[in-house]
Structure 1
Amino acid sequence: MILVTGGTGLVGAHLLLHLLQLGKEVKATYRTTSNLKEVEKVFSYYSEASNSLFKKINWVEADLNDIPALEIAFQNVTQVYHCAALISFNPSDYELLRTVNVEGTKNIVNLCIAHQIKKLCYVSSIAAIGRTLDEQAATEETDWTTHHANVYALSKMDAELEVWRGSQENLPVVIVNPGVIIGPGFWDTGTGLLFQNAYKARKFYPPGGTAFVAVQDVVSLMTQLMDAAVKNEKFIAVAENLSYKEILDRLTKAFNRSGPKIQLKFWQLELFWRLDWLAVLLTNRDRRLTKNSVRSLRKTQRFNNSKSKEFLGRSYESLENIITLSCAKFIEENP
């Protein structure tokens, strides 16, 4: 039996579908606020048998910090995919990020050890990959520093340390560090917001860029690592390093809309994050832009995926197919 935490997220939903199509028995955790229909909807994007596949999932209501509920979820489990996480770049969410991403991962690791789980796969992020000082692409071995790291990156790095602790206690682990994950569904959270912004066809675009990857590539890499004889290793999962203008151009083209033309100036961004801070102070809404976010735009960091290619013989799909599918589904659901 395989346990997937965070089964109601983009990666978790696609992973569940992939595992079920392979004929695996799966459990998945969800929270009371989760929408299981969103998962079934994702299944329908790829399979006519989406309803019957969805019904095969053994859902367990369990928060990452609810040990008794997690104990139930771990019964008769041999492998664990830990996909659950909180994504926020708001400095005021730092303690909550630690509670979910760090303490939650600590609990998963401890339970894996206690239940003698055969292998744990942890979904981290390129946020927990070090940055280079020159134009070289970062690798899994690039030194990581807390200097200028945002609160999300700090939480993911500390969560990785919990996973490595587990490896020192004889728990076989693998860590996947995806770039920005492109995939359909969950339009109001995470990278779904990228599709929302592209659909609005704004004239402005931010400087800088990052690495992107199709959700199917992330899921495929995860299952490949769990089935391979590899352990206690981490792997960057990226398909392409793109500027934000390049990814927005591709998305707006798929939406048949005009791409952005004007790059935002750094003085404008410096002003915007201060105004955003003031607006949050007055209205208590979520942060949309932070000081560290603007700082990260000053250097486009590229990421090297050669370890997964050489170690596992992998290749990565072009982003065009997943962009086309995602934009088509977005239009269907947001007429």
Structure 2
Amino acid sequence: MDKVFVTGINGLLGTNLTFKLIEKGYFVTGIIRKKNNFIKPKLKNLKLVEGDLLDFKKMADAMKGCRYVVHAAAITSQRLLKLSDYYQANVLGTENIIKACFQTKIEKLIYIGTANTYGYGGLHDLGDECKSMMSPFTKSLYAMSKKRAQQIIDNAVTKLNITTVSPTLMLGAYDTKQSSGKVIQMALNKRFVFYPSGGKNFVHVADVVTAIIKAFDIKKSGQKFIIANENLTYKEFYNKMIRINNQKTALLLIPDSLLFILGLIGDFFRLLKFKTDVSSVNTRILIVKNYYTNEKAKQELHFNFTSIDKAISDWLDFYNRKI
């Protein structure tokens, strides 16, 4: 039975990955702050170790005997005020993972990046693995920290077999921490929904899980894959969600000029040390269409992607069961 070490095990991706790995016959060890934070802490063929990415000894000890490591843990909040707020988890944590992989002679490391460290594009010029990071993500504290972590990963690929898997916005079941599913929740059963003019690429979390497991067999170190699926404006996305959830909702466009003003107000409050998602960088992100292609993943990982309708339905089913 091959053993896999997973960080970020109680997140949307980590939870779905763990269930699929165990279903496929792997033994999973995960590092987590509190064991009971995992939705099924007593699951067969699962070992949970309490600790974090900065506890190098505990992490390296837990990693012993594992063949693969999937490093999915990261701080993704948009509310933090300084780049240093992301540094320990996203940068130092990645450095510790690499050191532990060397020490324990791990065969393969899968690093979970983010598509936003690559350049995006419009529908006729989609972003891909060859395009450089673009504004406004070059000013996003989260994206900047992930870019630094990616550089650390890239520096290690000659000494360790590493594949980078970089998802777009993931949706699906087991969003226990209410992460990317907030994009659904903010419109759930609302009479009116205000949406920005931009758009995003959305992907079912199950497809990211499939990509990770397929990447176990990649022999060439340094390979990078954007795991993306449907490019949708926010209006198109919310129309899907409204139809799937059978809710009566009116969609109202937020003018770009209003978002610009809100961003400046957010910047002011952030200067006063108030933690808020609203900032000029984050509102700018809402008005761009950051679209990506999945052609490389399709061609080299050989699997079919799941519709975003299914991703939305799975999120709604889990949310309704949980409440």
TM-score, length of structure 2 as denominator length: 0.91
Query: What is the one-letter code of the residue matched to 1:324?
Result: S
Which residue, out of 234, 237, 240, partners 2:230?
Answer: 240
Does residue 11 of structure 2 align to residue 9 of structure 1? yes
Structure 1 residue 194: deviation in Å?
1.8
Structure 1 residue 35: deviation in Å?
4.4
Which residue, out of 39, 44, 52, partners 1:55?
Answer: 44
Does residue 80 of structure 2 align to residue 80 of structure 1? no
Which residue, out of 205, 212, 218, partners 2:202?
Answer: 212
Q: Which secondary structure state, in structure 2, belongs to the residue aligned with residue 69 of structure 1?
A: helix
Query: What is the one-letter code of the residue matched to 1:107?
Result: N
CA distance in 2, matches of 1:65, 1:146: 31
Q: Summarize the Cα distance change of 1:26–1:188 in structure 2 as closer, same or farther, 3 Å threshold.
A: closer
Q: Summarize the Cα distance change of 1:132–1:13 in structure 2 as closer, same or farther, 3 Å threshold.
A: same
Does residue 37 of structure 2 align to residue 36 of structure 1? yes
Q: Summarize the Cα distance change of 1:133–1:325 in structure 2 as closer, same or farther, 3 Å threshold.
A: closer
CA distance in 2, matches of 1:212, 1:165: 29
Asked whether the 8 Å contact 1:205–1:260 carries over to 2, the reply is no
**Counterpart in the other structure of 2:252:** 262
**Counterpart in the other structure of 1:137:** 126
CA distance in 2, matches of 1:298, 1:163: 31
Does residue 172 of structure 2 align to residue 183 of structure 1? yes
Query: What is the one-letter code of the residue matched to 2:209?
Result: V
TM-score, length of structure 1 as denominator length: 0.88
**Counterpart in the other structure of 2:193:** 203
CA RMSD between the two structures: 2.2
Which residue, out of 164, 169, 174, partners 2:154?
Answer: 164
Structure 1 residue 232: deviation in Å?
1.4
Q: Percent identity?
A: 26
Does residue 320 of structure 2 align to residue 331 of structure 1? yes
CA distance in 2, matches of 1:264, 1:31: 39
Asked whether the 8 Å contact 1:245–1:260 carries over to 2, the reply is no
Q: Which runs of 5+ in 1 are unaligned?
A: 41-50
CA distance in 1, matches of 2:255, 2:134: 27
Query: What is the one-letter code of the residue matched to 2:133?
Result: W
**Counterpart in the other structure of 1:313:** 302
Q: Which runs of 5+ in 2 are unaligned?
A: none
**Counterpart in the other structure of 1:25:** 27
Moved more, 248-257 or 122-131: 248-257
Cα deviation digits, residues 236-275 of structure 1 (max 9, x gap): 1011111111112222222221344211001211222233
Which residue, out of 212, 223, 244, partners 1:222?
Answer: 212
CA distance in 1, matches of 2:30, 2:310: 28
CA distance in 2, matches of 1:245, 1:122: 32
Asked whether the 8 Å contact 2:244–2:313 carries over to 1, the reply is yes
Structure 1 residue 134: deviation in Å?
9.4
Query: What is the one-letter code of the residue matched to 1:261?
Result: L
**Counterpart in the other structure of 2:110:** 121
CA distance in 2, matches of 1:24, 1:319: 28
Cα deviation digits, residues 282-327 of structure 1 (max 9, x gap): 6x65312211112223331210110011112222111122211221
Query: What is the one-letter code of the residue matched to 2:17?
Result: L
Moved more, 313-322 or 89-98: 89-98
Q: Which secondary structure state, in structure 1, belongs to the residue aligned with residue 83 of structure 2?
A: helix
Asked whether the 8 Å contact 2:154–2:222 carries over to 1, the reply is yes
CA distance in 2, matches of 1:171, 1:187: 32
Query: What is the one-letter code of the residue matched to 1:30?
Result: I
Asked whether the 8 Å contact 1:182–1:215 carries over to 2, the reply is yes
Which residue, out of 133, 147, 152, partners 2:142?
Answer: 152
Moved more, 134-143 or 78-87: 134-143
Structure 1 residue 276: deviation in Å?
3.1
**Counterpart in the other structure of 1:92:** 81
Structure 1 residue 60: deviation in Å?
0.9
Cα deviation digits, residues 185-210 of structure 1 (max 9, x gap): 33553212122112142331111011
Cα deviation digits, residues 158-186 of structure 1 (max 9, x gap): 11111112212x20000011010001233
Does residue 59 of structure 2 align to residue 70 of structure 1? yes
Higher relative contact order (CA 8 A, sep 6+): 2
Q: Which secondary structure state, in structure 2, belongs to the residue aligned with residue 60 of structure 1?
A: strand
Structure 1 residue 109: deviation in Å?
0.8
**Counterpart in the other structure of 1:102:** 91
Cα deviation digits, residues 132-159 of structure 1 (max 9, x gap): 5995101100123577431111111111
Structure 1 residue 277: deviation in Å?
3.8
Structure 1 residue 127: deviation in Å?
1.5
